[in-house]
Structure 1
Amino acid sequence: MLPSLVLNLHRFHDYLATVLGATGGSFQARGPPGMRFLITCDPENVRHMLVSSFVNYPKGEEFASFFDVMGDSFFNADGESWRRQRTRVQHIMSASGLLGFMARWCRDKVETGLLPLLSYMEDNNAPFDLEDVLTRFTFDMTAMPVFGVDTGRLSTDLPPTHVPTAMDAVMEVGFFRHTVPVSCWRLMRRLKIGPERKLAEAQPVLRRFVDEMLERRKKKKLKGGVIISEEQTAGSRAAPDVDIASFYMDDPEYVDEGGEPREFLYATLINYMVAGRDTVGATLAWFLYNLIRHPRVADAIRAELAPIVAARKLKSATAADDTMVVFEPEETKPLVYLHAALFESMRLYPPVPIERKEALAEDVLPSGHRVRAGDKILISVYAMGRMEGVWGEDCAEYRPERWVTAEGGAVRHVPAHRFASFHAGPRSCLGKDISVAQMKCVVATVLWNFDFEVVEGHVVEPKLSVILQMKNGLLVRAKRRRVVR
């Protein structure tokens, strides 16, 4: 790659945003043989590659090798394999019993896990890593619908995070492999040195985790007897009997004749965990960080929540003023300003800051750049959210009002190729609606009950990873808000 890009690797995303801003939104880079890139954040190029010419821009075999722990799962897959898997995921994510449970589980986990842990941290009066707490929360929140098992990562003794650490290693090493020649990282993998050693240690951890979850799931099913229907599950707050793993356990492509998991099942279930835990956890951390930095926005969200709390007070006059308020997803779903503040945070800090594609055939992009077959394309979603030509002169400012219509009663529609935090085109995020509903519920509840202060001198910056996590975490102190209602 370009020497300057390597020299600025420590600030990779901001460096790309600077260069793309100076080059009109696209530039080409060449490095060692096999490393010919076009890097872009031009919305018209994005629409061309992700929507109108989608077939010509798959992820490619090299991408799949970067994330070999994901195997042939939908994270890596292209073509017919990807279409078959996406159809199945779409079916799973539209199951009403599962979706209803996910909404209830999120709300209950906030009440019984997240709020007590934050209260415990406040009582200790010591700094803590809010990003770690949030990713523990999203780990638990994801594992239950995937396996039907509560992993208990939010208990006050803060259980070890070997599995989440292994998941982080997969994303960090995947990013590293993007930045060096294939021959280099393959040699490091063979020798088990550098980042590749970290990945080699992570893979058996993830495999053991899946085995443990499937075993716990099996024992729960045997103990509970027959598996009840989705309709019966929908009325219960207990662990779901229709979990995501259930949709794969009878498929010979995923399990062998003895019912033991094949590699395809391991990869697929890890894929679900990464999709749920990593992206939502990173988004929540950056969202709360932005609200800490912009108290005006936090106060505006609380003002939007106040009528809900007041209405509850009228219905339950006996509720104590110092009782924790836990919002229901149905209550926060219609809140426009909360939604705008979330999307504004995702504009500046997209959970997946960069997308990688490979050209199958020669093509000319709307920007006029010519790509050859085999060229690698990097789409900087991070940079696109910071382009004046897309978002105006105040693009660097956190201003949720840009998402609110002139009438003030609705969220302004922005096409996915201009706001690609949920991807765009045929590979758009299937979990968008449920994840947005969950994040609004979580942040509303946390923000209403707590104030946070970032520890003085703590530096918050992006980690070098495929997921936009924080390099140093988010060290804060918490203070309980006691609102007179």
Structure 2
Amino acid sequence: MYVLEYFLSLLVIIMCFTYSTWWYLSNRWWKSSSVPTKWPLVGMLPGLIRNVHRVHEFATDVLVETKGTFEFHGPDFANLNMLATSDPANIHHILSKNFSNYPKGVEFRKIFDILGNGIFNVDYELWEIHRKTTMSLMNHAKFQTFLERNMWDIIENGLRPILDTFAEQDTLFDLQDIFQRFTFDAISKLLLDYDPKSLSIDLPHVPCEKAFNDVVDALMYRHILPEGCWKLQKWLRIGKEKQLIQAWEAFDQFLYPCISRKQEELMHKSTAKDDEFTFLNAYIKMYNQWTDGDLGTLQTFLRDTFLSLMFAGRDTTSAALTWFFWLLAKNPLVEKRIREEIQQQLNLKEGENLKFFEIEKARKLVYLHGALCEILRFFPSVAIEHKLPLEFDILPSGHRVSPNTRVVLSFYTMGRMESIWGKDCLEFKPERWISERGGIKHEPSFKFPAFNAGPRTCIGKEMAFIQMKIVAATIIYNYHIQLGEDQIISPSSTIIIQMKHGLKVRLVKRVPLMSN
């Protein structure tokens, strides 16, 4: 019965879309406005489908034209009405002031079912204990040392040998792929004490590492298509849903053995070492203390928990680094200033290469920090946030939302709005993040939501900046990046803003700066 309903829904959508397109083309009615036309039956869905390959730019065009908030009307027969906003007042209201009315909710869990009971999928007490447990780990006395050792180990044994090889061979390669492999290995080693070595000279195909790209692609389509359509694809194992199923299998095949291996190791440790700082111990303890609902088996809960953290650690950092080096290559004066800051703040001597520096010294790289903030303004790693209110609400913009209205927050658009960042909003200016005293200028999270805002602000923000600074400083000081010619650079139409076609570059080893 359900299958028949899915087929009928899909058939109606196809027929309506075909009719609308024919009517549109036959009437030759072209308009200059970015706002999509509302058609009979199918609403604004044709305009969305027509722009699905550039959905973030499309949303930006519409939101800029409509002054930051826009009501999207979906097909009459599908629950696809949305309110998109990039208004800082609305963002602040939804993510902070009226936080309790905008939980992740059932709809979010349906779309992101692959994350199970991980921190990004849950609400209320389970979310609070997830957050409390993870924050206690990141605030642990051993964490900073652990993170520092982990980062430099991956750099020295993985990243540097590969970059040196590419530089010596003068080979064109995809820098985005290298960053994705780097962050995947780094987060796997940090969380599970296991190095998958995807960042090896021969660049091996590691199914779990590549599965992340398929997931972010498929999840975006779940935001756009009516639920019946993507559920039908899932049942038939076709299209983006087939990719998602295969990715799910790849994650399970990677994570379950890693978890079992780590559990086995911990069981054989002596009593004196039982309190050793590990993520696994902390989440096992959390599972055993939870009594307010079914979390499934321990193995499943650990799988959901680690997969959620790996998503945060792999995709967001690699995406930010990729966009950073693209804009850096197009702004040589910014690159020069960052190199000078590195030499000065890290006390590098004449002819000395940059090999290692402590996390504490990374915090002194203020201009580099500003440049990274500027990248995240333009290309926030998480491009959109999806909310469904529990009760009727009126936003500061005056728009009304009901429990059946999806609210989509476009963080990508916010960095491109003159009303938020001024007339120079489309210029790459790290200086906008530097205070008069020479420190980092604070911007409120509802204006700069690259790390979300309100109670759900990203707890890994500081770790992400440390990782990005260490990688960026190592590459900037030791190499010069040349962009490959004739490549098309555009953002992917996915939840995580990646480069759609990668970033092809060549590397040249630098001669260290001479001291003044």
Judge same fold: TM > 0.5, yes or no: yes
1:349-372 CA-to-partner distances (Å, cap 9, x unmatched) read 000011111111111111111111
Following the alignment from structure 2 to structure 1, what is the Cα–Cα distance between the partners of residues 202 and 87? 47
CA drift of 1:192 comes to 0.4
- Provide the residue aligned with 2:318 in structure 1: 281
Q: In structure 2, what is the Cα distance between the partners aligned to 1:121 and 1:227?
A: 46
User: Identity over aligned residues, as a percent?
Assistant: 37
Q: How far apart are the structure 1 equivalents of 2:159 and 2:269?
A: 28
Q: 1:124 to 1:196 in 2, by over 3 A?
A: same
Give the gaps of 5 or more residues in structure 2: 1-43, 291-295
Matched, 1:246 2:281: yes
SS of 1:39 mapped into structure 2: strand
User: How far apart are 1:326 and its partner, in Å?
Assistant: 3.3
Look up the SS of the partner of 1:286 in the other structure: helix
Can you list the C-alpha shifts for 1:45-88, whole angstroms capped at 9, x where unaligned?
A: 00000000001112221111111111122111122322222222
Query: How many pairs were matched up?
Result: 464
Higher relative contact order (CA 8 A, sep 6+): 1
Aligned residue in 2 for 1:165 = 210
Q: After superposition, where does 1:3-402 map in structure 2 within 5 Å? A: 3-32=46-75, 33-218=78-263, 220-221=265-266, 225=270, 228=273, 242-250=277-285, 251-252=287-288, 261-308=298-345, 311-313=347-349, 321=351, 323-402=353-432
- Aligned residues of 1:221 and 1:227 also touching (Cα < 8 A): no
Q: Deviations over 1:194-231 (max 9, x none)?
A: 1111111111111110122124424554676557377x
- In the alignment, the residues of structure 2 paired with residue 182 and residue 18 of structure 1 have an alpha-carbon distance, to the nearest angstrom, of 26
Unaligned regions of 5+ residues in structure 1, if any? 231-240, 315-320
Alignment partners' CA distance in 2, 1:158 and 1:220: 29
CA pair 304-66 structure 1, distance change in 2 beyond 3 A:
same
SS in 2 for 1:96: coil
Deviation at 1:284, TM superposition (A): 1.1
| Secondary structure in structure 1 of the residue aligned to 2:386 | strand
Paired with 1:245 and 1:458, the residues of 2 have a C-alpha distance of: 43
What secondary structure, in the 3-state scheme, does the structure 2 residue paired with 1:262 have?
A: helix
Contact 2:133 2:283 (8 Å CA) reproduced = no
Over residues 168-196 of structure 1, what are the superposed CA-to-partner deviations in whole Å (9 max), with x where a residue is unaligned? 22221111100100000001100001111
Where 2:184 maps in the other structure, the secondary structure is helix
422, 434, 437: which is aligned to 1:404?
434
- Confirm or deny: 8 A CA contact 1:175 1:465 kept in the other structure: yes
Is the Cα contact below 8 Å between 2:180 and 2:315 reproduced in 1? yes
Cα shift readout 1:111-153 (whole Å, capped 9, x = no counterpart): 3321121101112221111011111111111011211112222
Q: Secondary structure at the match of 2:349?
A: helix
Cα distance between partner residues in 1 of 2:105 and 2:315: 23
The answer to whether the Cα contact below 8 Å between 2:378 and 2:412 also exists between their aligned partners in 1 is yes
Q: 2:490 aligns with which of 436, 461, 468?
A: 461
Shift in Å, 1:423: 0.3
| SS of equivalent to 1:477 | strand
Does the 8 Å contact 2:353/2:478 carry over to 1?
Answer: no
Deviations 1:294-335 (A, max 9, x none): 1111111011112245x3438xxxxxx364543332222122
Q: What SS does structure 2 have at the residue aligned with 1:451?
A: strand
Secondary structure of the equivalent of 1:48?
helix
Q: Which moved more, 1:159-168 or 1:16-25?
A: 159-168
Further displaced range: 120-129 or 211-220? 211-220
TM-score, normalised by the number of residues in structure 1: 0.91
When the two structures are superposed, what TM-score results if normalisation uses the length of structure 2?
A: 0.86
**Given that residues 82 and 407 in structure 2 are in contact (C-alpha distance below 8 angstroms), is that contact kept between their aligned partners in structure 1?**
yes
Larger Rg: 2
Aligned residue for 2:284, secondary structure, equals coil
